[in-house]
Amino acid sequence: MLDIKYVRENPDKVKENIKKKFQDEKLPLVDEVIELDQKIRKLKLDGDNLRQERNSISSEIGSLMREKKVEEANLKKQQVVEINEKLVNIEESEAELTEKLTEKMLVIPQMIDDSVPIGKDDSMNVEIERFGEPIVPDYEIPYHADICEALGGLDKESAGRTSGNGFYYLMGDIARLHSAMLSYARDFMIDKGFKYCVPPFMIRSDVVTGVMSFKEMDAMMYKIEGEDLYLIGTSEHSMIGRFKNQIISEDELPIALTSYSPCFRKEVGAHGLEERGLYRVHQFEKQEMVVLCKPEEAMEWYNKMWSYTVEFFRSLDVPVRTLECCSGDLADLKVKSCDVEAWSPRQQKYFEVGSCSTLGDAQARRLSIRAKGADGNYLLSTLNNTVVASPRGMIAVIENNTNEDGSINIPKALQQYMGGKEKIEIK
């Protein structure tokens, strides 16, 4: 959410930003919030004037009573009653207009960084850099679900009976590979100086609206019936929510955390679920990184964070590339974002395995997260990035390490988490 003062002073810039995101239907909101803001400030001024008048009259009443001018004092008391009635009406109107203002402000997108490429949708995202040589072996790489089933590691049919489409059973060495990747990701980030955390897997609605846009919430979140609780779609939600309404001492900054969690997503929309495979499912597990820092340090952290994901996958013998998200592909709270994509030798193209974003002060403003500095309190910048989400990340490891006989070479970095095993073989 933008600062209303910024919108008031820079309406043309805010409108231009909306156009860059191809959301022209939101352009009227800028004038609407400015008008509401003017009305609210007028009501505040009227209220302040009435309170000042009431205080003055109250002083007069005290003097009149001391002088035993009871009749005049009673007339003044009636004036106070009338002022109080006016104040009640003003405060009610102010609260009503403030609620309307907040609703509209929550829909206006965050100002994007000047470096973000302009484009309508993800088809216009821009490749930045490739890491590792994408190899296509001289034998066919089967579909990842077929590889896992041949190794006795995947059962979607049974999951369909217990839970429906979008769920799965992982078993044996495939399940172990999945867990090994998450354990390695945890230790990888701890070695980078991040503090490990396991957060709550459910959050309240005021945290949900603090960390994401309404459009994202409707497409992603599962609500617990009869309770003000939602299942998290990523641990970033509860990790950022941890600091809600907090004032953090500046000497504690930056705060760099890495968190494990299961994640639950509806996957509503054009992408939909993957019927047979594990690429897009309702339930997965993820190791995330979250940073809270001074605004001037945000871009430095952004570049560090995506590079860690690149380093992680390269250590697993997976070629990757980074892709700059264009303006139309950015969620409304994001200032800048890039995807890390892994090479698929089967499809002979890259697919997304991680996403890194800096959100400026958008989440901090919604959740009232501040730092206490020498010159007063200020809103922090928040950033998040995927270390690995599995089983999607596991697909990349499987495809890039599958042998002609159907076995899978276990990357050296994961072998210690699998009892020293070097290969998963068909039994």
168-192 confidence digits (pLDDT tens): 999 999 999 999 999 999 999 999 9
CB atoms within 10 A of CB 308: 20
Tell me how far apart the alpha carbons of residues 363 and 206 are, in angstroms, rounded to a whole number. Answer: 12
Tens of pLDDT, residues 36-49: 999 999 999 999 99
Contacts of 235 (CB under 8 A, 6+ apart): 199, 259, 260, 261, 263, 286, 288, 290
**427: pLDDT confidence band, cut at 50, 70 and 90?**
confident
Q: Region 359-388: what's the mean pLDDT?
A: 96
Tell me how far apart the alpha carbons of residues 126 and 384 are, in angstroms, rounded to a whole number. Answer: 20
> 104: alpha, beta or left, given left = phi > 0 and alpha = psi -120 to 50?
alpha
Tens of pLDDT, residues 5-18: 999 999 999 999 99
- What would the CATH number be for the domain defined by 122-424? 3.30.930.10
Tell me how far apart the alpha carbons of residues 216 and 11 are, in angstroms, rounded to a whole number. Answer: 25
Across the strands, what pairs with 255? 292
Mean pLDDT in the chain? 94
Query: What is the pTM for the complete model shown?
Result: 0.90
pLDDT exceeds cutoff 70 at 268 = no
- What would the CATH number be for the domain defined by 4-105? 1.10.287.40
Location of each CATH 1.10.287.40 domain in the chain: 4-105
Peptide bond into 134 cis (omega under 30): no
Location of each CATH 3.30.930.10 domain in the chain: 122-424
Tell me how far apart the alpha carbons of residues 110 and 25 are, in angstroms, rounded to a whole number. Answer: 16
pLDDT exceeds cutoff 80 at 218 = no
**426: pLDDT confidence band, cut at 50, 70 and 90?**
confident
| pLDDT at position 80 | 87
Q: Region 95-105: what's the mean pLDDT?
A: 95
Contacts of 145 (CB under 8 A, 6+ apart): 154, 156, 276, 277, 278
| pLDDT at position 274 | 66
- Tell me the one-letter amino acid at 218: D
DSSP classification of residue 228: S
| pLDDT at position 76 | 85
Q: Which two tokens stand for residue 17?
A: 């930003």
Quick check: 276 and 145 in contact, CB under 8 A?
yes
pLDDT exceeds cutoff 90 at 282 = yes
Tell me how far apart the alpha carbons of residues 339 and 189 are, in angstroms, rounded to a whole number. Answer: 18
Minimal CA–CA distance to 368: which of 244, 208, 278, 201? 244
| pLDDT at position 270 | 53
